[in-house]
Amino acid sequence: MNAQTTQKQWQLYKEGDARTYKLRLSEVPVPKPGQNEVQIKIHAASMNRRDVAVMQGNYPMPPRGSLVPLSDGAGVVSAVGPGVTRFKVGDKVIPIFFPNWIKGRPTGNATEVSLGGAVDGVLSEYVVLNEQSMVPMPAGLSFEEAATLACAGVTAYNGLFTRGHLQSGDFVLLEGTGGVSIFGLQFAAAAGAKPIITSSSDDKLTRAKSLGAVGGVNYKTNENWEKAVRELTGGAGVQHVLEVGGKDTLAKALSAVGPGGQIALIGGLGGFGGTIQAPSLLGGNITVNGLYVGSRENFEAMNAFIVNHKVKPVIDKVIDFKNADTAYQLMESGDFLGKIVIRM
């Protein structure tokens, strides 16, 4: 049993009736596990664009005066409560994004309750969760690597495989070089598909090619980047898009996709929204899959894929826990490729 009684914890808090949150580092009691609960000593956490949206008051969640941020982390089981059967002290684990979405379709309010949103997240030395709300860490990954998977990894995996049914040889379009897109690139390349990626930076395009992209297009210097993407497929169009740009990119993604292709509707980096013209979907036999991360079952399937294909998440920068506020600034700057990790 852990003898430590207090711990360091980052909290988002609001002053008065402010819309946005501020960050503070607090000293709070170490939580004890109750019935069917597991205490995890967090070793690493990672940032998602969504965490910036939470801080800015732009994330759909019930109003909260304060909360522990971040959904994504990895650590070691440090204590177990009565009735726990899935894990024991010393096991390496990753909390899942939606603690109540275990398998199948989401039921009830499963997708309204996410870590670092409606309930407290992982930017804390210790967290306590129900034993159902975590997965074993995949073998071969460090804590830093494992901490990148819960949101961006599961979303990219579901977009390509669970919902997208990707086949070897398919062309896959990834937009920008952030967390979801770089996982999409790595997973597609590992499965024998052909990733094409866009970026605002030629340097990042070069790095993306070293990770397995067969083509890259600068969307800042090439306004008609969707045409360049289509040319890279020999004119036929891509079979998959991980659509993270939102209103800036949706129409272009539709122009880049070929007959029978699918668009995984994921994000809104340029603002959520955009219009889909129904005739272009039915004329091209195009599928649009709305995605919201995924279940524990999806996470387990992704972890098996990661182990099987020896995928190593791409970490741009590791920041010390005591400087976690600077991770938010780095994320907002866009000056990174892949993931930003916070080490405890």
- 291 interacts with ligand NAP by CB under 6 A: yes
Distance CA 43, CA 343 (A): 6
Rg of the chain on CA atoms, in Å:
20
Under 8 Å between Cβ of 277 and 255? no
Which helix (H) or strand (E) is 78 found in, with range?
A: strand 72-80
Site string for ligand NAP, 313-332 (x = CB under 6 A): ------------------x-
Q: What minimum distance in Å lies between the beta carbon of 182 and ligand NAP? A: 8
Of the candidate spans 10-18, 29-37, 38-46, 195-203, the one that interacts with ligand NAP by CB under 6 A turns out to be: 195-203
Q: Which of 42, 94, 115, 180 lies at the binding interface for ligand NAP (CB under 6 A)?
A: 180
Of the candidate spans 138-146, 165-173, 175-183, 305-313, the one that interacts with ligand NAP by CB under 6 A turns out to be: 175-183
| Alpha helix positions (H), the chain | 49-55, 143-146, 154-157, 179-190, 202-210, 225-232, 250-256, 278-283, 296-309, 324-333
Distance CA 45, CA 8 (A): 14
Of the candidate spans 34-42, 43-51, 209-217, 281-289, the one that interacts with ligand NAP by CB under 6 A turns out to be: 43-51
From 7, 10, 2, 62, select the one nearest 324 (Cα to Cα): 10
Give the nearer residue to ligand NAP in terms of CB position, either 84 or 342: 342
Distance CA 88, CA 76 (A): 10
Distance CA 321, CA 134 (A): 22
DSSP state of 159: I
Number of residues that bind ligand NAP (CB under 6 A): 30
Q: What part of residues 242-261 is at the interface with ligand NAP (CB under 6 A)?
A: 244-245, 248-249
* Residue-wise burial string across 184-223, b where 16 or more C-beta atoms lie within 10 A, e elsewhere: bbbbbbebebbbbbbbebeebbebbeebbbbbbbebeeee
Site string for ligand NAP, 210-249 (x = CB under 6 A): ----------------------------------xx--xx
- 159 interacts with ligand NAP by CB under 6 A: no
Q: What minimum distance in Å lies between the beta carbon of 20 and ligand NAP? A: 17
- 114 interacts with ligand NAP by CB under 6 A: no
Residues in contact with ligand NAP by CB under 6 A are: 48-50, 151-152, 155, 175-180, 199-201, 204, 244-245, 248-249, 266-270, 291-293, 331, 334
